[in-house]
Amino acid sequence: MTTAARLGVFVAGLLVVFAAAVGIGRATGPVGPIGPAEQTEGGREVLHASDKHADVAGDGHDHGPEAATDLPGGLATSQGGYTLVPDHTTYRPGTRELAFRVEDADGAAVTDYDVEHDELLHLVAVRRDFTGFQHVHPELDAAPEDEDAGTWRVPLDLTPGSWRVFADFVPHDGDPVVLGVDLSVAGPTDLAPRAEPTRTAVVGDYEVTLDGDLTAGQHSMLSLTINRDGVPVTDLEPYLGAYGHLVALREGDLAYLHVHPEDGEPGPSVAFDAEVPSAGRYHLYLDFRHDGVVRTAGFTVEADR
């Protein structure tokens, strides 16, 4: 058969398929209004927010049908009446002081915060290719007579690239808030390749192993086990009110997820209750303290549907 003839047969075949599809469509007709659980998208059942209340805010409350305000934290610079205002958004590489304020709906710098996990404000900085993770605790200038009242300051180690900075805090007598803002750091850079899922992280003499799986929309128990030179560590020191502190960031948009530590022994395993809002890849950072030093172990985990 010549190419033209083959093409002709192919086109004729397509027409037959198309005609058959039209015929089937006419025969069955529109199905009319269908219930939320019957709709399909790409062959999958679509669950509406009203059918399944994912605790995306991670605070244990049922937030009802998913609205913009129920998005995970850290995706917005301004949310819930609060705005994260950095003094600068462009930096030269090196150790640089980040100065910022949290402004309320009236544009006034917030100076009154509630302690959460032992601190008034947690600041997490990560380069958008998931390198250079830092979890630090800025100092607040709260002296009311000071014109800088409400300004937070903290040094960050910045390498060239695009960074996301998260401020995780509780305004006095308010609800927890996580705001995010991008910083650009000048200079040539090599971006890290996409990280593959990992179960083990090595930090200096320490090896940390991750057990447990993440499932979208469900509470998932994660256990992190810490060994030093092959010996289980059983004398972890409390850090931020627990034997470990875990931050989870979603690949793609760096949504910031709350992960709650479970009470337990000072090692070798630390348990967390994590809930992720969607399937896909997450980057987990465990901070733990031993021998007076805080170390960070990073993991990449694929969450199931």
101 vs 122 by CB, closer to Cu ion: 122
* Residue 255 CB, nearest approach to Cu ion (Å): 18
Tell me the one-letter amino acid at 199. R
List the one residue out of 197, 278, 203, 253 whose CA is nearest residue 233: 203
Indicate the residue among 275 and 287 with the shorter CB distance to Cu ion. Answer: 287
Name the residue nearer to Cu ion (CB basis): 201 or 242. 242
Distance CA 164, CA 179 (A): 10
The footprint of Cu ion on this chain (CB under 5 A) covers a number of residues equal to 1
| Choice between 124 and 158, CB closer to Cu ion | 124
Of residues 96, 91, 249, 252, the one with CA closest to residue 160 = 91
State the minimum distance, in angstroms, from the CB of residue 14 to Cu ion.
60
Candidates 6-14, 52-60, 115-123, 198-206: pick the segment binding Cu ion (CB under 5 A): 115-123
Least distance from C-beta 236 to Cu ion, angstroms?
A: 17
Question: Taking a C-beta distance cutoff of 8 angstroms, is the pair 247, 259 a contact?
Answer: yes
For the bound state, the minimum distance from the C-beta of residue 122 to Cu ion, rounded and expressed in Å, comes to: 3
Residue 166, strand partner residues = 124, 180
Give the closest residue to 83 by CA, choosing from 172, 169, 173, 185: 169
Where does this chain touch Cu ion (CB under 5 A) — which range of 46-54, 56-64, 122-130, 205-213?
A: 122-130
Task: Candidates 14-22, 81-89, 118-126, 181-189: pick the segment binding Cu ion (CB under 5 A).
Answer: 118-126
Min dist CB 54 to Cu ion, Å, is: 25
Q: Which amino acid is at 103?
A: E
Buried-state track 174-200, b at ≥16 Cβ within 10 A, e below 16: bebbbbbbebebeeeeeeeeeeeeeee
User: With respect to Cu ion, which residue has the nearer C-beta, 122 or 283?
Assistant: 122
CB of 249 to Cu ion, least distance (A): 14
**What is the closest distance, in whole angstroms, from the C-beta atom of residue 240 to Cu ion in the complex?**
6
∠ at Cα 171 (165, 172), nearest 5°? Answer: 155
Cα–Cα distance measured from residue 63 to residue 50, given in angstroms and rounded to the nearest whole number: 10
Cβ contacts of residue 247 below 8 Å, gap of 6+? 124, 135, 256, 257, 259, 284, 285, 287
Closer CB to Cu ion, residue 122 or residue 127? 122
Comparing CA positions, the residue from 228, 224, 217 lying closest to residue 277 is: 217
Position of minimal CB gap to Cu ion: 122
Residue 250 binds Cu ion, judged by CB under 5 A: no
Q: Is 258 in the site for Cu ion (CB under 5 A)?
A: no
Place of tokens 């900085």: 125
Give the interface segment with Cu ion, choosing from 12-20, 32-40, 117-125, 230-238 (CB under 5 A). 117-125
Does 122 sit near Cu ion (CB under 5 A)? Answer: yes
Binding range to Cu ion, per CB under 5 A, among 99-107, 114-122, 256-264, 272-280: 114-122
Q: Where does this chain touch Cu ion (CB under 5 A) — which range of 62-70, 119-127, 201-209, 223-231? A: 119-127
Nearer to Cu ion, 282 or 285 (CB): 285
User: Judging by beta carbons within 10 Å of its beta carbon (0-12, 13-18, 19+), is residue 280 exposed, middle or buried?
Assistant: middle
Residues that bind Cu ion (CB under 5 A): 122
